[in-house]
Amino acid sequence: MKTVVRSLLFMAIGVWLVSCASPPSAQYYSRSQIQRQLSVFYGTVLVVEPVHIEGTQTGLGTLGGAVLGGIAGNAVGGGHGRALATVAGVVGGALVGAAVEQGATQANGLEITVELDSGEVIAVVQEADDVYQVGDRVRIVRGPGGMTRVRQ
C-alpha cells in the first residue's frame, strides 16, 4: 500500500511540475523581461503559416518517469527478478516520462511575416494564442535579447 501511495505522490508532483511551464505566448512575459524598455514598431501582416512548437526537455519528465518506473518495477517479483524488473522499470519509466514531458509542453504556433512601416520585412514565430490574418495592422514588440512578439 505504501508503494502505491508513493507512486501516486510522485505522479502528482510530476504533473504539477509540467503544468508550471509557461507557454511561448505573446501574452506571457518572463520575470527577466519586466520593467525593461521595449521597442514598438507597427506593420502589416503579409503571411500567416501554422507551425508546431516543440516541447521542452527539462529532465523532470525523465527523472519522474524513472522514479515511478523504478518503484513499480521494485513491486514485482522477488530476488534477481525484482532487480531486473526495477532496472527495466527505471529505463522504461525514463523513456515514457521524457515522451510525456515532450508531448505535454508542445504547442501550436504561427509564423507571422510582417512588413514594418519602415519597409523591413520580418518573421516572428509565437504560440497561436490570437488570430492573425493577411492585411492586419499589428504592433511588433522587441525586447532585450531579441525577444520579439506580434500583438494586435
**Where in the chain are the domains?**
1-23+56-105, 36-54+107-152
Query: What pLDDT digit, counting tens, does each position of 79-107 carry?
Result: 777 878 887 887 888 788 766 776 666 78
Percent over 70 (pLDDT), the chain: 76
Tell me the mean pLDDT in the region 34-47. 92
What are 51-89's pLDDT values in tens digits? 998 877 777 877 887 788 878 878 886 777 787 888 788
More reliable by pLDDT, 145 or 4: 145
Contacts of 45 (CB under 8 A, 6+ apart): 112, 113, 114, 132, 133, 134, 135, 136, 138, 150
152/105 Cα distance (integer angstroms): 25
3-state secondary structure (DSSP) of residue 141 = strand
Give, for 80, the enclosing helix (H) or strand (E).
helix 79-104
How confident is the model at residue 2, as a pLDDT? Answer: 55
DSSP letter for 135, please. Answer: T
| CATH 3.30.70.20 assigned to 36-54+107-152 | no
